[in-house]
Chain A
Amino acid sequence: MATKKTRIKAKAKNGIVTVMALAKHPMYSGAEAKKLKVKQNFITYLKAEVSGKIVYEVTSSQFFSKNPYLKFKYKGNKGDEIVISWVDLLGNKNTSKSKAK
Chain B
Amino acid sequence: MLSKIIKSSIIVALASTAMYGSSFNVQAEKDRKALIKYFEDKFADPDKNRNRFFPYSTDDELKNNMPKNVKFEDFAIGNYAWSIQGKEQYDEINEMPPYEDYIDIGEEIYTSSKVLQGCFPDVTIGGDYPYFSDKRGEIVTLGVAINECLTAGKQKPFNMKKGKMAHLQAYMVFQTREAGKKTNIKISSQAASDAYERGKEYYYSQKGYLKLSCASCHVQGAGARVRNENLSQLLGHTTHWPAFRLKWGGKNVNGDGLGTVERRVQGCIKDEGQVPPSVTSNEMKELLYFMTYMSNDLNVDGPDIRK
| Chain A residues proximal to chain B, CB less than 8 Å | 1-2, 7, 9, 20-22, 24, 26-27, 36, 65-67, 69, 71
Contact = CB atoms under 8 A, between A and B. Distances in A.
A26 to B, nearest CB: 6
A2 B255 contact: no
A2 to B, nearest CB: 5
A36 B252 CA distance: 11
A20 B255 CA distance: 18
Given A2-B105, A9-B96, A66-B255, 18 more contacts: A1-B254, A2-B101, A2-B108, A7-B101, A20-B96, A22-B100, A22-B101, A24-B101, A26-B253, A26-B255, A27-B255, A36-B253, A65-B255, A66-B250, A66-B254, A67-B101, A67-B255, A69-B98
B104 interface: yes
B95 interface: yes
Given A26-B254, A66-B249, A67-B255, A2 B95 contact: no
Contacts of B100: 7, 22
Contacts of B98: 22, 67, 69
Interface in B47-104: 95-96, 98, 100-101, 104
Contacts of B250: 66
A71 B95 contact: yes
Nearest to A66: B255
A13 to B, nearest CB: 15
Contacts of A66: 249-250, 252, 254-255
B255 to A, nearest CB: 3
User: Which 7 A/B pairs are nearest by Cβ-Cβ distance?
Assistant: A66-B255, A20-B96, A67-B255, A2-B105, A1-B254, A22-B96, A26-B254
Chain B interface residue count: which class?
Answer: 10 to 19
Contacts of A36: 253
A55 B108 CA distance: 34
A36 B251 CA distance: 12
6 contacts: A7-B96, A9-B96, A22-B101, A66-B254, A67-B255, A69-B98
Contacts of A69: 96, 98
Contacts of B95: 20, 71
Interface string B91-131: 00001101011001100100000000000000000000000
B151 to A, nearest CB: 25
Interface in B227-248: none
Nearest to A20: B96
Contacts of B249: 66
A27 to B, nearest CB: 8
A9 B252 CA distance: 25
A36 B255 CA distance: 14
Given A26-B253, A26-B255, A2 B96 contact: no
Nearest to B102: A2
A65 B255 CA distance: 9
Nearest to B104: A2
B157 to A, nearest CB: 21
A100 to B, nearest CB: 15
Contacts of A2: 101, 104-105, 108
A21 B249 CA distance: 18
A71 B105 CA distance: 24
A22 B250 CA distance: 16
Contacts of A65: 255
A20 B100 CA distance: 13
Nearest to B97: A22
Nearest to B167: A2
